[in-house]
Amino acid sequence: MTPVKFLFCLLFLLITFLPSFSQTSPGDYYMVDGEKVMLNPSGNYQAVKMDADQISMDQVNAFSAKIDTSQIGQVEQSPLLAKYGIILIKLKKTISPQKVNSAMTQIKKMDNVKDENPVYSMDGIDQVLINEFAVQFKAEVTEADVSKILDQVKAEIVKKNEKIPNRYMIKFSGTAVREALQKTNELSSNPAVEFAEPNFIRIYPKRPKLQGSQNPSNQSVEPADTPNDPLYPNQWALNNTGSTGNADADIDAPEGWDLNTGSASIIIAIIDEGVDINHPDLQSKIVTPYDATDGDNDQFPNGWDGHGTSCAGIAAAITGNSIGVAGVARGCKILPVRIAYSNSDGGSWVTSNAIIEDGIRTAVDRGANVLSNSWGGGSASSLINSAVDYAISNNSTVVFAAGNNNGSVSYPANLSDTKTIISVSATNEWDQSKSPTSNDGENWWGTNFGPEVTVAAPGVHIYTTDISGSDGYAAGDYVTNFNGTSSATPIVAGVAALILSQNPGWTAAQVRTQLQNTADDLGTPGFDNRFGYGRVNVCNALGGACTYDGGDGDGGDGNGTCSSIGFGGGFGGSDSDQNYFNMFLLFSTFWLFLIYLLGRKIKQKYFA
């Protein structure tokens, strides 16, 4: 064999046998605002597409019984996945790509299995590609034009959006889902199309149970003169006397309440996983709930989904009723919007781009003045962006959690540099930026940070409402250590609601400017990436003159590793991107070393 022939054979073998993930291609992408969003294969999940468009949970259980879960991993299912005929397998952490490919080859031979759908991992969130794509045509495009354009790419209309002109949900029949993604990208470049993108199913890791003790009941402690809620003295974020951390490392809530306690005409939407509307500290505050996961008004959370109830209590719990906790905007109303759920205690939090968009838009349509969003992560979405734009255009103040991964600000909070939204980072009782090494002892997480942070707010050891009774985070009606930028976000939403209560004609831009200009400056003088413009101050925001005597605000050193927090703290953590890179590096090194050895033999045999 000549050297040239030998090298060609070697190249063929490398191309044929280099290990890869079977379900995804490194070149997968979609378009948002004219930019490519590259998609990274997930090392956490595999998605199996069954023959039927929809499947029952009995079919899911039957499938699970047929596969060797000890080898590949456990089936993790929800009604939303079943609606699209998808079965999700959560992979074992130690499984290799070769074993995944081998297992999936066998699974695809099973009865009633059609194919596998790609799963991607973006910013710690796993996203399942399904055969459903959103297309927004430009205003001047007629229905006849729409039909012609869709016929050209062999797409069919699943649903026309009756609320949004020229918005369609489409699918591609007889086409593999990755090919459907490519055709959607073709639609994105059509001059008649404003945007076209996948309706990803988003899988947010569920955070572990809150660490530390819980308050199993409405435990009485020495009450303050005002308010008379028995747990109020423990709410250091509202008024820090120095018994925890540094005195005045708080939002000056009681000083601010002397100026305004909130108006019942101002509504805070808690866009989350549902709120316990029967909770004694919330019941009279609730207006027009909505469940975007199924389109009705019954948004009551699953018994293990306590996150939304905790956020609601922080923002606007009933205050002065001699039970429980005090809320930041005690006089304002709460509009619960359910955009996600988990299917079991400790299970992943499941939603989709379209559900999130519907939840945000409906909150605005039902009169929400402030939108509190203690969630985030994953890749950018034109659907979600358009919902945020809709809220801003209707003068709603939009607040997003920056995230809990001790890294860069997550989507959608990172839109604050281009849109009039508020991105919130977290502080502790010492007015430090929350990090794995800050003084609070919660070394498993740190706030996200970056130039997109608008303001900061307390985010550790927060007393708030829990789902009543035995459900929620623990038995009892309250939780004592809610945390994350999830808890900081409803604090800021509450302060924004107080500003609007005092200034009902203000725009969202004016509210954001007021929060920035009146925050207590921490860390580096002026704006910085960890605190933004500072930790919010209710008294100053309402026109008071409150002096600050708090902590040094050094922000910690920001070092240390951060483990997964999950949605319960606002965000999930995932190692899939890093795992994929590590495997790529390992295999690349192996093959380069092999080529080096073969090259030496070739040199010795043919060129010596």
The whole-number pLDDT of residue 205 equals: 85
Contact between 73 and 91 (Cβ < 8 Å):
yes
The question of whether 486 is a catalytic residue gets the answer yes
Residue 226 pLDDT = 77
Please give the DSSP secondary-structure letter assigned to residue 603: I
Over range 353-364, report the average pLDDT.
99
The answer to whether 272 is a known catalytic residue is yes
Predicted confidence at residue 589, as pLDDT, reads: 52
pLDDT in tens, 11-64: 444 443 433 444 455 589 999 999 999 999 999 999 999 999 999 989 999 999
Q: Is 521 a catalytic residue?
A: no
Q: Give the number of other Cβ atoms within 10 Å of residue 136's Cβ.
A: 20
Answer yes or no: are the C-beta atoms of 85 and 113 closer than 8 Å.
Answer: no
pTM score of the predicted model: 0.86
Tell me whether residue 370 is exposed, middle or buried, using C-beta atoms within 10 angstroms of its C-beta: 0 to 12, 13 to 18, 19 or more: buried
Q: How far is CA 504 from the centre of its chain?
A: 30
> Which pLDDT belongs to residue 600?
58
Average pLDDT over residues 467-489: 96
Radius of gyration of the chain from Cα atoms? Answer: 26
274, with CB counted inside 10 A (0-12, 13-18, 19+), is: buried
Q: How many other CB atoms are there within 10 angstroms of residue 468's CB atom?
A: 18
Retrieve residue 527's tokens.
């704006």
User: Do residues 408 and 448 touch, judged by C-beta distance below 8 A?
Assistant: yes
Helix (H, G, I), strand (E, B) or coil at 480: strand
Amino acid identity for residue 138 in this structure: K
pLDDT at 195 over 60: yes
Q: Which neighbouring-strand residues pair with 370?
A: 268, 397
Q: Which residue has the higher pLDDT, 207 or 540?
A: 540
Give me the catalytic one of 291, 307, 310, 396: 307
**Bridge partners, residue 462, by sequence:** 482
Q: What are the structure tokens assigned to 186, written together?
A: 């073709």
Give which of 466, 453, 384 is closest to 424, Cα–Cα. Answer: 453
How far does Cα 364 stand from its chain's mean position?
A: 19
pLDDT over threshold 50, residue 493: yes
Given a cut of 90, is residue 445 above it in pLDDT? yes
- Average of per-residue pLDDT across 74-96: 93
Annotated catalytic residue, options 374, 433, 486, 501: 486
Return the pLDDT at 596: 55
Distance of CA 470 to the CA centre of its chain: 26
**Structural domains of the chain in order of their starting residue, each with its CATH number:** 133-198 (3.30.70.80), 232-541 (3.40.50.200)
Q: Exposed (0-12), middle (13-18) or buried (19+): which is 583, by Cβ within 10 Å?
A: middle
- Strand segments (E) across 132-250: 133-137, 155-160, 167-172, 193-198, 201-204
Tokens at residue 496, please? 């924004």
pLDDT greater than 60 at residue 157: yes
Question: Tens digit of pLDDT for each residue in 531-563?
Answer: 999 999 999 999 986 766 554 444 333 333 222
pLDDT at residue 203, rounded to an integer: 96
Give pLDDT, residue 549: 57
Query: Does residue 218 have a pLDDT over 60?
Result: no
- Length of the chain in terms of residues written: 608
Average pLDDT over residues 602-608: 49
Residue written as token pair 């250091």 = 236
Residue 179 has pLDDT above 50, yes or no: yes
State residue 345's pLDDT score.
86
pLDDT at 221 over 50: no
Neighbours of 262 (CB within 10 A): 24
Instruction: Tell whether the model's pLDDT for residue 570 goes beyond 80.
Output: no
Q: 423 in helix, strand or coil? A: strand
pLDDT at 593 over 90: no
CA distance 86 to 47: 6
Catalytically annotated residue among 229, 250, 272, 440:
272
Q: What pLDDT, on a 0 to 100 scale, did the predictor assign at position 174?
A: 87
CA distance 325 to 129: 42
Distance CA 120, CA 84 (A): 17
Q: How confident is the model at residue 580 (pLDDT cuts 50, 70, 90)?
A: very low
Q: Which residue has the higher pLDDT, 596 or 77?
A: 77
Summary mean pLDDT of the chain: 87
Contacts of 191 (CB under 8 A, 6+ apart): none
Sign of the dihedral defined by the CA atoms of residues 246, 251, 254, 256, in that order: positive
Determine what percent of the chain is predicted with pLDDT higher than 90.
77
